[in-house]
Amino acid sequence: METIARYLIFAGIILLLVGGGMYLAARFNLPLGRLPGDIRIEGENFRFYFPLATSLLLSLVLTVVLNFIARWWKK
């Protein structure tokens, strides 16, 4: 039971950080989702949107942050 509580606390912290990051991105008007590499196709009856550049940027940032945390945690 104690390990489940720890996982829930950790998940809550992660959600808090993601929510805070989204709030700050909106507050500072960062163009996440509208970068020049995001694919948007709009037709008469459909819309297709794939945020390729945004996904790559977020993946890069998360990789750097998580590697930093992992190295700090092992020391």
**pLDDT, tens only, 11-67:** 999 899 889 988 988 898 888 778 899 999 999 999 999 999 999 998 998 899 889
Instruction: Clarify whether residues 73 and 42 are in a common domain.
Output: yes
Q: Do 46 and 24 lie in a common domain?
A: no
Q: For the chain, what is the domain count?
A: 2
Q: 37-58 burial by CB neighbour count: b if 16+ within 10 A, else e?
A: ebeeeeeeeeeeeebebbeeee
What is d(CA 15, CA 9) in angstroms, rounded to the nearest whole number? 10
Q: Taking the chain, what is the end-to-end CA distance rounded to the nearest angstrom?
A: 28
> Do residue 62 and residue 26 come from a single domain?
no
Q: Is the pTM of this model over 0.85?
A: no
Q: What share of the chain is helix, strand, coil (3-state, %, to 5)?
A: 65, 10, 25
Domain span at 41: 35-75
Same domain, 43 and 69: yes
CA nearest neighbour of 49 among 64, 63, 37, 65: 37
What is the model's pLDDT at position 65? 87
